[in-house]
Amino acid sequence: MDDKSMQSWSTMELTLVPAAGTIFGMDKPTGRPRKPMTPTAYEEAFRRRVRTARALRTEEPKEMARLLGVREDTYYRYETRTMLPHYMIERFCQLTGVTVDWLIKGPQPGQPSHTGVVVQE
pLDDT of 17 strictly over 60: no
118 falls within a domain: no
What are the tens digits of pLDDT across the range 84-99? 999 999 999 999 999 8
**What percent of the residues of the chain are helix, what percent strand, and what percent coil, each to the nearest 5?**
55, 5, 40
| CB within 8 Å of 89: residues ≥ 6 apart | 100, 103, 104
62 falls within a domain: yes
45 falls within a domain: yes
11 falls within a domain: no
44 falls within a domain: yes
Task: Please give the pLDDT value at position 54.
Answer: 93
CB atoms within 10 A of CB 65: 19
What pTM, to 2 d.p., does this model score?
0.64
Q: Which domain holds residue 97?
A: 39-104
Percent of the chain with pLDDT over 70: 62
User: What is the pLDDT confidence band of residue 37, given thresholds at 50, 70 and 90?
Assistant: confident
Q: What angle do CA 24, 29, 32 make, to 5 degrees?
A: 135
CB atoms within 10 A of CB 73: 10
The total domain count for the chain is 1
